[in-house]
């Protein structure tokens, strides 16, 4: 049991008695960090959560954002870190299953998956094993249920050697008048449990996720990892959508962390009602299961629908048609207690406020001072560093990963993996741009600017595709919150993220907190994984690849002396020191709005390519445009205040590369009132920077095949 002595005292004071074994287990689950957010809740309030396009912010299984007069998107993001460290294939697969159920619970059809992954160095055999099987778990699950995995990002770093991160984002499409919520507003309605049967897998999954890993976790905690079943999930998805289409359900919620205990208590607590659950009515797949095991099991592919009793027969006929099990397991009752009974015998009776609303914890915080020392670099040759940088697994092509994903199923994908963001068609006029991003070194060195930069970079990615950022989702992955310095990182990171989200009017509408990402004192780099949803007109879509010989190359934004924390530092000099690039919010906002305005007014498609500048700096961004298109460029970078290393590899924010048809250059420049410079033109098949030439073949060979060689 993980309940603290103070929590036990709090519980028993409210109950006026001691807990029995079943009640103790149920409360242990609901007081876990994973379910209760008891350490993070006070800080999460800093996020902006409302906006012009937001229908529903945090608090339900997913956030809802309006994209057209008819349609909305349900968007969520979840982590499955500890399970993936123990059993990477199943852990990643059940992570996909959980986020899919969250989207279905809102009445939405899942249309896209994205992932944000972290592993140890690729030289490490165990890290390669985890990487291989996590990717296979994601691809097998997503491909089998027919939901495309359209974008993502991956980082390899020593800090993730023993604690990989598997964060998954899902987007679903729903007509606005068909939205449903996780609630149980009507006394007398019944709970219909449908989908997979209940077994012993996943018991204590949320408490396992709320503790640090140890060297024994791989054997001791394996039973806490759920078993994935994508084929059942496919039937559950189809049956759920049919029930929602044909029946006016009162509410619906998936069974994820905390199992039936979490699902039922949160359903009724949201409506200030109570619940009576009949233990004998729950379909089991194993014999001899105890009430404790049944109520804490996190077996996958299960959903609970809150229905009028008159609609049960039709709902069960739909389940039968799709060959999935269903059973009425209880009802909504008056009062505010959740009661578990077995043939009339009361086994547990707990106030829902105890289960669904545990108190937060006021933990101590201690600031980590920034490292402001200057670092002398042994220069290996400025221009000669570019091929090595392109061959870093953190920069190099991720084709090995996304070629395993079906990213075209459902035929909505307009821009496929490999660009700044994926683009999906919603209707004949509207598209959405989707991306995930994080920079863990920046956040480690400067939590405020680093985390703010994660949001800013994700926003730049959707802007580069021609889309206006509408909303943000996140997965906040940190170490042990009982460590004051870790909690300070967390608090400060949220403040930075909130600044950018608020200024771009892109509220945080859903998210997840994953603490305790440590193994025997080895801490991960703090990782705020950010997903951004952008909306655009179909004709505004832009991509990063060069299009035409002679097009002029524009750099919007200013480069600063900000090399520390860069991929250049990490790859070339094996350094993770100094401070992160600063967020200059006025520049970030003005430059982003300028790019969007230019694209929106560009009816003649004179702006032919757009690409944001981020990891690796300008040298890498230009190389990617050359590699992707097969066209070269001639570029001159000069600045009286910066040396050549800074100009090439600094990761200063708020920068975009645009290509413009030469005949439209003067007109485009006249519309720009932010920092802008014409730095070159598209020509030939080589990248020529300040007189240093790199052939397309050399760049392409450095960039492609890197991960494939490690995984051969």
> Is 40 part of any domain?
no
**Which pLDDT score, from 0 to 100, does residue 378 have?**
72
Confidence of residue 137 (pLDDT cuts 50, 70, 90): very high
> Is 308 part of any domain?
yes
> Is 39 part of any domain?
no
**Which pLDDT score, from 0 to 100, does residue 106 have?**
96
Higher confidence at residue 225 or residue 7? 7
Q: Which residues of 110-149 are buried (b: 16+ CB within 10 A; e: fewer)?
A: bbbbbbbbbbbebebeebbebbbbbbebbbbbbbbbebbb
Domain identity same for 219 and 309: yes
**Average pLDDT score over the chain:** 93
* Mean pLDDT, rounded, for 486-493: 98
Q: Which positions are catalytic?
A: 34, 80
Q: Is the pLDDT of residue 638 over 70?
A: yes
Convert 503-572 into a string of H (helix), E (strand) and C (coil): HCCCCEEEEEEECCCEECCEECCCEEEEEEEEEEEHHHCCCCCCCCCCCEEEEECCCCCCCCCCHHHHHH
Residue ranges making up the domain that contains 601: 542-712
**Which pLDDT score, from 0 to 100, does residue 526 have?**
97
Domain identity same for 562 and 709: yes
Domains in the chain: how many in total? Answer: 3
> Is 124 part of any domain?
yes
For 437-472, write each residue's pLDDT tens digit: 999 999 999 999 999 999 999 999 999 999 999 999
> Is 381 part of any domain?
no
Confidence of residue 610 (pLDDT cuts 50, 70, 90): very high
**Which pLDDT score, from 0 to 100, does residue 373 have?**
77
For 154-173, write each residue's pLDDT tens digit: 999 999 999 999 999 999 99
Rounded to whole angstroms, the Cα distance separating 476 from 602 reads: 38
Domain identity same for 258 and 214: yes
Higher confidence at residue 497 or residue 379? 497
For 343-363, write each residue's pLDDT tens digit: 889 999 999 999 999 999 999
Confidence of residue 205 (pLDDT cuts 50, 70, 90): low
Rounded to whole angstroms, the Cα distance separating 294 from 696 reads: 60
Where among 523, 540, 557 does a domain terminate? 540
Rounded to whole angstroms, the Cα distance separating 254 from 305 reads: 9
CATH number (domain holding residue 334) = 3.90.650.10
* Mean pLDDT, rounded, for 703-711: 97
Q: Is the pLDDT of residue 218 over 70?
A: no
For 95-120, write each residue's pLDDT tens digit: 898 899 999 999 999 999 999 999 99
> Hey, is 35 helix, strand or coil?
helix
Domain identity same for 136 and 126: yes
> Is 527 part of any domain?
yes
**Which pLDDT score, from 0 to 100, does residue 223 have?**
59
* Mean pLDDT, rounded, for 495-509: 98
Confidence of residue 409 (pLDDT cuts 50, 70, 90): confident
**Which pLDDT score, from 0 to 100, does residue 214 have?**
62
The fraction of the chain above a pLDDT of 90, given in percent, is: 86
**Which pLDDT score, from 0 to 100, does residue 94 have?**
87
Domain identity same for 228 and 267: yes
Query: CA angle, corner 151, sides to 202 and 91, nearest 5?
Result: 15
Q: Which residues of 229-240 are buried (b: 16+ CB within 10 A; e: fewer)?
A: bbebbbbbbbbb
Domain identity same for 562 and 640: yes
* DSSP 8-state secondary structure symbol assigned to residue 223: G
pTM listed for this prediction: 0.95
Where among 502, 525, 540 does a domain terminate? 540
Rounded to whole angstroms, the Cα distance separating 253 from 107 reads: 10
């Amino acid at each position: 049991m993980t309940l603290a002595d103070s929590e036990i005292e709090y519980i028993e004071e409210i109950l006026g008695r001691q807990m029995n074994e079943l009640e103790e287990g149920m409360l242990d689950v609901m007081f876990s960090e994973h379910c209760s957010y008891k350490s993070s809740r006070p800080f999460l309030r800093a996020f902006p959560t409302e906006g012009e396009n937001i229908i529903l912010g945090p608090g339900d299984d997913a956030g809802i954002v309006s994209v057209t007069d008819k349609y909305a998107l349900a968007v969520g993001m979840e982590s499955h870190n500890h399970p993936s460290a123990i059993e990477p294939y199943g852990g990643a697969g059940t992570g996909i299953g959980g986020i899919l159920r969250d989207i279905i619970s809102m009445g939405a059809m899942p249309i896209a998956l994205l992932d944000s992954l972290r592993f140890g160095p690729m030289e490490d055999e165990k890290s390669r094993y985890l990487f291989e099987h996590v990717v296979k778990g994601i691809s097998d699950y997503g491909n089998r249920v027919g939901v495309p995995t359209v974008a993502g990002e991956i980082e390899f770093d020593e800090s993730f050697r023993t604690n990989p991160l598997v964060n998954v984002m899902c987007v679903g499409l729903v007509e606005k008048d068909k939205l449903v919520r996780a609630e149980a507003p009507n006394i007398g309605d019944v709970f219909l449990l449908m989908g997979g049967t209940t077994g012993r897998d996943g018991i204590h999954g949320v408490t396992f996720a709320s503790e640090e890993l140890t060297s024994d976790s791989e054997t001791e905690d394996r039973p806490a990892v759920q078993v994935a079943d994508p084929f059942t999930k496919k039937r559950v998805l189809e049956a759920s959508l049919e029930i929602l289409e044909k029946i006016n359900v009162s509410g619906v919620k998936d069974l994820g962390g905390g199992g039936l205990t979490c699902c039922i208590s949160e359903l009724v607590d949201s409506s200030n009602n109570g619940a009576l659950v009949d233990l004998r009515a729950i379909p089991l797949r194993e014999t001899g299961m105890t009430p404790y095991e049944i109520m804490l099991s996190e077996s996958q592919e299960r959903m609970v629908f809150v229905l009028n009793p008159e609609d049960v027969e039709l709902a069960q006929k739909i389940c039968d048609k799709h060959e999935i099990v269903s059973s009425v397991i209880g009802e909504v009752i008056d009062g505010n207690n959740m009661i578990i009974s077995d043939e009339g015998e009361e086994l547990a009776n707990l106030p829902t406020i105890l289960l669904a609303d545990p108190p937060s914890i006021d933990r101590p915080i201690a600031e980590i001072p920034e490292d402001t020392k200057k670092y002398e670099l042994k220069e290996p040759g400025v221009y000669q560093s570019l091929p090595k940088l392109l061959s870093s697994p953190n920069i190099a092509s991720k084709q090995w990963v996304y070629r395993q994903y079906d990213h075209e199923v459902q035929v909505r994908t307009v821009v496929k993996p490999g660009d700044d963001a994926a683009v999906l068609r919603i209707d004949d006029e509207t598209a959405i741009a989707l991306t995930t991003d994080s920079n863990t070194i920046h956040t480690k060195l400067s939590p405020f600017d680093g985390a703010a930069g994660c949001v800013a970079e994700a926003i730049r990615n959707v802007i580069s595709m021609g889309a206006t950022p509408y909303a943000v989702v996140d997965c906040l992955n940190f170490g042990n919150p009982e460590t004051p310095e870790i909690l300070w990182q967390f608090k400060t990171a949220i403040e930075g993220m909130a600044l950018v989200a608020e200024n771009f009017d892109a509220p945080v509408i859903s998210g997840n907190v994953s603490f305790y990402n440590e193994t025997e004192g080895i801490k991960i780099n703090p990782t705020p994984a950010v997903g951004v949803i952008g909306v655009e007109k179909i004709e505004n879509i832009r991509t990063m690849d060069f299009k035409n010989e002679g097009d002029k190359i524009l750099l919007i934004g200013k480069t600063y002396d900000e090399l520390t924390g860069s991929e250049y530092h990490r790859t070339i000099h094996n350094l993770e020191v100094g401070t992160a690039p600063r967020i200059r919010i006025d520049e970030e906002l003005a430059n982003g709005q300028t790019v969007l305005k230019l694209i929106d007014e560009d009816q003649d498609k004179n702006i032919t390519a757009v690409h944001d500048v981020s990891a690796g700096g300008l040298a890498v961004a230009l190389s990617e445009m050359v590699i992707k298109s097969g066209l070269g460029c001639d570029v001159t970078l000069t600045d009286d205040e910066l040396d050549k290393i800074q100009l090439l590899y600094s990761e200063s924010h708020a920068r975009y590369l645009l290509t413009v048809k030469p005949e439209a250059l003067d007109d485009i420049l006249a519309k720009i009132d932010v920092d802008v410079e014409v730095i070159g033109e598209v020509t030939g098949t080589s990248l020529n920077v300040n007189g240093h030439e790199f052939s397309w073949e050399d760049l392409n060979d450095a960039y492609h095949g890197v991960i494939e060689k490690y995984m051969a």
